[in-house]
Each structure stands twice: as C-alpha cells, then as structure tokens.
Amino acid sequence: MYNDPEVSAELHRVADAEPLPPFDTTALLTRAHRGRRRRKLAGAGGLLATVAAVALAATVIPGISSANQNPGPAGTSTPDFTPVPGLERGEAALFQNLSKSEVSRLCALRYPGQTKPLEKPTDARTGARLRFQAKVGEASPHRACSVPGGDRPSAKLIAEAKADPMPASDAGLLRNCAVETWVDVTGWRVVASEISKAQKKVTVVATSPSGKSAVACELELPPRTNPLGDSEGRFLRLASLVKDDAPILVPPKGSKWAELYISSSGGGCKKNTDTDCKKQYSGWGRTVADAAKVRISSSGKTYEKPVTDGWWAITWQVAGSQKLDFKIEALDKSGRKLKTISAQ
C-alpha cells in the first residue's frame, strides 16, 4: 500500500513518461574494470611508487588516460542512426570542412525529392544552410539545404518524430532535432525550449556533453504558417575539439561566454493593415551569465522565460495591424534588469 496512492500514481506516471534509452552496461563494465585496475595499482605500493606506476600505465595502456574515463551518456550505441559515408559521427562532424562537391552530394542525400541544384554551392560545414535554385513563386519541397551531419536517422525514428511533432519531453525534442539535422544529439542537454502551437513551431536549444557545441533547432510543423519557413538546425561551435582548430565563439575579455541573439519573423499578413492575421516572431540566444530569466514586452504585455547558463528561447506574436514594438531584456534572480538584448 502506498503512502499516498494518488500522488504515488502521479509520480509513477511522470517517471514512466520519460523514455529510457538502452543502458550501456558494457561501457559501464569497461570503466569499472579500469577503475579496479587503478585501485590495484594504487594499493601495490607507497604513494611515490603509485604515482610512478600510474604515470607509466597511462603511457602504455590504451584508454587509461583521464580523457577516456567518462562513461558517456547511456544508450549512445543505438540502432537509431547509421553512418553517413565521408562524415564523422556525432559532434565531430561539426568540425569537419566539406568541399563544394561534398556539400552538393550531402544535400542530394538529405533531400532526395529535391530536383533543383544548390544556388551557390560552397565549402561548408554540417548545419550550414544553402539555398536551392528556385524561381519566384515556384513550388519547391524545400527552400534550402541544411547540410546534414554523419548520423542518418532510421525510418523508425523519423516516423516517431513525425507522429510526435510537439513533444513534451526533452528526449522527444532532441529526437526531433536529430531527425532534422542528422546529428545524433539525443544525448545532448536541453538548455532552452519553446513550443508554440499557435506558430506551429518548436524551438529547442541544446548543448553537447563535451560543452563544446550547441544546437538550435527551429522545427516548423506542417502546415507551415510561415510560407517561407523551413525547419533548420544551426550548430554553434563554442570551443575547439582539437587544439589547432580555432574556436568559433570566443568570449570577450572578462565574459564567461560570447553573447548571441538570433531572431526570425514571419506570418500570413499580406498588408500591415490586416487584422485577421498574426505576425510571428521568435528569438533565441545566450545572454549574460548572471541572467535568471528573459522578459519580452510587447504591446504593453509581458512574458518571461527562464535562462539556463545564459541560454534562452522565446516566441511571440501580434495582430497583423499592430506596429512591431517589443523589448527583450535579461533579468537577474530578483527581477532586476541586467541588459536589453533587443528592442524595437
């Protein structure tokens, strides 16, 4: 008999609603063996002898260095993704330079129904967005190619994402982002998200386990309210994976990280005087380290969202006849304004 059957049932429901990916027992056992080996080494002699032995072991036993001790997120070895020839898997693909011909090949692979070539093929990296050739008014299944990563999602995963376009769980958000980008971000950490039924849009910002990359997926759901909209996933390289690869977002001196503000707008208004339509706006980014929330003020109304490690995401909309008038501010815990991120 439960202490409180009703609340117990609710807690079980909440816990069961979060899907559990497979648990990587093999990785755990490998790590445990290494730990046990180190313990034996440590116990074999005095402090100096131990230090020497570990130092020696680190040079001769593969995988004993500290860089390899983390187990990684559970369930990374799933059949949900298959490799894309010529690309690295996961986060490593983001740091790979791709030639024009490689980019064209990958876009053709990613968008098999698209018969138009790229407007201006160029060297790029995973997540770059290149337009397909199209005449004004011409129907096209996709406006642009988001250069895919090295993890092709399985048909099952694609079907799951399609069936659940507005997931309530982080796992669902990451799955849909991975399906869009072809980068297995399912082990990443969601730091901001916004789900707007009105805009038929899901925005999710997540950071990689290494902390060196971030992704912002803006997923447009059919039927799109923004006729120019396409889903996309932008990747940010926050630091180098390897020593000689320059970091992309260098924090200014004295700042913890580089600040960002990315916005987009759309809507079905033909004229600014239309009253029966909505203008839609969305924004995401990274603000100052002390920020606890962001506040959007528009047309005399306000709306707040929390901030995680500076990351935030927000959407809002106004009547078509309303003049664009908004302010996005970063606030600290007590509600004190730290800065204006954007205003019009």
**Residue from the set 16, 79, 155, 323 that interacts with another protein by CB under 8 A:** 16
In the sheet where 260-267 sits, what is the strand order?
Answer: 260-267, 278-286, 311-319
- For another protein, which stretch binds (CB under 8 A), given 94-102, 147-155, 186-194, 228-236? 186-194
- For another protein, which stretch binds (CB under 8 A), given 9-17, 94-102, 124-132, 135-143? 9-17
Residue 18 or 123 with smaller CB distance to another protein: 18
Beta carbons of 255 and 265 less than 8 angstroms apart: no
Q: Which residues, 6+ apart, have CB-to-CB distance to 326 below 8 Å?
A: 281, 296, 297, 298, 316, 342, 343, 344
User: What is the total count of residues that contact another protein (CB under 8 A)?
Assistant: 67
Any contact of residue 193 with another protein (CB under 8 A)? yes
Q: Which of residues 271-290 bind another protein (CB under 8 A)?
A: 278
Any contact of residue 4 with another protein (CB under 8 A)? yes
The CA-based angle 34-36-39, given to 5 degrees, is 110
Residue 73 or 121 with smaller CB distance to another protein: 73
In the sheet where 326-331 sits, what is the strand order?
Answer: 301-306, 293-298, 326-331, 337-343
Any contact of residue 336 with another protein (CB under 8 A)? no
Beta carbons of 303 and 338 less than 8 angstroms apart: no
Q: Annotate each residue in 30-69 with x if it binds another protein (CB under 8 A) or - if it does not, as one string.
A: -xx--xx--x------------------------------
Beta carbons of 82 and 149 less than 8 angstroms apart: no
Residue 31 or 142 with smaller CB distance to another protein: 31
Q: How far is CA 82 from CA 7, 135, 183, 217, in A?
A: 41, 35, 10, 21
Reading the block at residue 113, the tokens are 């129904």
**d(C-alpha 34, C-alpha 39), whole Å:** 9
Place of tokens 């056992």: 29
Q: Which of residues 213-272 bind another protein (CB under 8 A)?
A: none
Q: From the CB of 320, what's the least distance to another protein, in Å?
A: 10
Binding residues for another protein, rule: CB under 8 A, are 2-4, 6-8, 10-18, 20, 23, 25, 28-29, 31-32, 35-36, 39, 71, 73-75, 166, 168-171, 187-189, 191-199, 209, 278, 292, 296-299, 301-306, 308-309, 316-319, 322, 326
